[in-house]
Amino acid sequence: MLLKFAGIKKYYAIGMRWALDERKGIEAIQLSTGLDYGIMLNIREKLNYKLRLVALADDTHKNSWCLSGLLAAQYKNLILVHRISNTTYWVCVIKNHTVWAGVDVPKATAGDFVHGLSAISDVIEGAKAEFSADGIDVRGIQFCSETASADFPDFQSVDLFDFIAKLKKDRKYFIRYLEPSKILLQKMIVLVIVVAGALYALYYVHEQRLVTRLLHQQQLEAERQRALEIQQRYDYFKRIQIDLHDKAAGPVIHNVMSILKQIPPQSAGWDLVSASYSSQSPTAMTLTLKRSEYGTLNSFLNAYSASPSDGVIDSNNNTGTKTLSLNAIALEKSDANVSEDELTSKITHQTYRLISYMQLNASTFGFQLKDKVKSRYDVTSSKFTVTGDKLWKLVQLEMLFRRFSTVIISSIKFTVSAYDMSWVIEGEIYA
């Protein structure tokens, strides 16, 4: 089964078949189940270095992420349950960074299990019993999505999208076609090379063998370097595409304005002086506060907080900072797709129009370009700063930036004035 979230192109595969066996045993499982796609992890142990751990699926899971594998890589112990539909649930149980298989579930794996509520509940109870027997406290590792919170009230409710979005996308858990005979073929190729090298050595003197071996090593190193360069280029453009998706200027300004709507100018006797936003923490904003005549040190704990929080108060007891967390904000992201050709060409007509517009409207926006850089892949980028003294100008800037898909924002700093806010934006333009 596949999970899909709005704004994320890749699917997440759940309910996969996990198996630990030698290569022949895994091939037998593939032949009997028709599950030719999945992930394969090498497990080298002292007594049996041939063991393979695989998670198998069918071709509908191609090019998806194995969700339980990603969770196992980053959580030591975890019980996570999600309601997919009215009658279907998914539970993921991780024990010691491994997908759990402690309950006999025919043709499935208990730690990566899709079924009805009754079967899911049985698996969870079995996992909790085993965890408790092993001295693992399950209270802090039980999570459920908001859709399943009514069925599992003792579990901590989380936004499943945010929970999964924090996972590091390890490419070892990217589902692809598994060729069962690939390992055997590689061994045969290595054997042929060794035999051919041995026969070749019979006809040549020691010096000739050394030259041949050196040339072979140079060829392997050249191939390794080519593969490394291809991967580095892929990673470089992938990072840019992620930034253009997550930090697009128009959506970032829209998200910040959504947060500002929820921030009053005063809370518990403390006035808002400034606010700082970073694209690295899209649902958080750092607030600088100043005590008014009604503020106290105790009221600082509750200022701009749904629950008491210490924050950081300065030594003068009149100013302090707090980080406001707004996980409920529905973040908007860009769906634009900028090709490598667009990024590697000379400065585009659209980008030239943006720069010209900002420079011609210097009375409205304080715009400055700096640190122009051209990378080894011919991508030109420039840091920029935009300043303004009215929020309506920020709204105008949002509408302008939505027309340009190669502009990202890294941070926005607001300073409160008498009746409005002035602001400073830092970002980057890819030309």
- Please tell me whether residues 283 and 162 are part of one structural domain: no
Query: CA-CA distances (angstroms) from residue 420 to 186, 226, 272, 389, 415?
Result: 68, 55, 12, 8, 9
Instruction: Answer whether residue 274 is part of any domain.
Output: yes
- Please tell me whether residues 155 and 61 are part of one structural domain: yes
Query: CA-CA distances (angstroms) from residue 321 to 220, 253, 316, 412?
Result: 56, 22, 13, 16
Domain extent, residue 114, equals 2-177
- Please tell me whether residues 169 and 91 are part of one structural domain: yes
Instruction: Answer whether residue 125 is part of any domain.
Output: yes
Q: What would the pLDDT profile of 100-111 be if each residue is shown by its tens digit? A: 987 777 778 889
Instruction: Answer whether residue 249 is part of any domain.
Output: no
**pLDDT, mean of residues 117-125:** 94
Residue 427 CA to residue 371 CA, distance in Å, equals 11
Other beta carbons within 10 Å of 36:
16
Contact 105, 80 (CB under 8 A): no
Residue 171 CA to residue 66 CA, distance in Å, equals 10
Q: What would the pLDDT profile of 60-95 be if each residue is shown by its tens digit? A: 888 899 999 999 999 999 999 999 999 999 999 999
Strand order in the sheet with 12-13: 2-3, 12-13, 65-66
Residue 170 CA to residue 70 CA, distance in Å, equals 7
Q: Given 215, 243, 271, which residue is the final one in a domain? A: 243
Instruction: Answer whether residue 193 is part of any domain.
Output: yes
- Please tell me whether residues 33 and 164 are part of one structural domain: yes
Residue 136 has pLDDT above 50, yes or no: yes
> How high is the pLDDT of residue 40?
84
Instruction: Answer whether residue 156 is part of any domain.
Output: yes
What type of residue is 363? S
Instruction: Answer whether residue 44 is part of any domain.
Output: yes
Q: What would the pLDDT profile of 214-252 be if each residue is shown by its tens digit? A: 888 888 888 898 888 889 888 888 888 888 888 999 999
Instruction: Answer whether residue 340 is part of any domain.
Output: no
- Please tell me whether residues 226 and 283 are part of one structural domain: no
- Please tell me whether residues 68 and 188 are part of one structural domain: no
Q: Given 273, 299, 325, which residue is the final one in a domain? A: 325
Handedness of CA 197, 203, 207, 211 (dihedral sign): negative
- Please tell me whether residues 6 and 107 are part of one structural domain: yes
- Please tell me whether residues 87 and 16 are part of one structural domain: yes
If you ran DSSP here, which 8-state letter would residue 329 be given? S
Query: CA-CA distances (angstroms) from residue 129 to 117, 136, 380?
Result: 18, 10, 57
Could you tell me which residue, 376 or 411, shows the higher pLDDT?
Answer: 411
Q: How many domains is the chain partitioned into structurally?
A: 3
Rounded percentage of the chain residues whose pLDDT exceeds 90: 34
- Please tell me whether residues 51 and 151 are part of one structural domain: yes
**pLDDT, mean of residues 307-325:** 83
- Please tell me whether residues 60 and 124 are part of one structural domain: yes
- Please tell me whether residues 165 and 211 are part of one structural domain: no
Contact 344, 377 (CB under 8 A): yes
> How high is the pLDDT of residue 318?
92
Q: Given 122, 154, 177, which residue is the final one in a domain? A: 177
Q: Name the band, by pLDDT with cuts 50, 70 and 90, for residue 331.
A: confident
State pTM to two decimals.
Answer: 0.48
Q: Where are the beta strands (DSSP E) in 220-339?
A: 266-267, 270-278, 284-291, 312-313, 319-325
Mean of the per-residue pLDDT values for the chain? 85
Rounded percentage of the chain residues whose pLDDT exceeds 70: 92
If you ran DSSP here, which 8-state letter would residue 333 be given? -
Handedness of CA 306, 311, 314, 315 (dihedral sign): positive
State the DSSP string of 108-136. SBTTEEEE-HHHHHHHHHHHHHHHHHTT-
- Backbone φ and ψ for 63, nearest 5 degrees, come out as 65, 25
Instruction: Answer whether residue 228 is part of any domain.
Output: yes
- Please tell me whether residues 218 and 273 are part of one structural domain: no
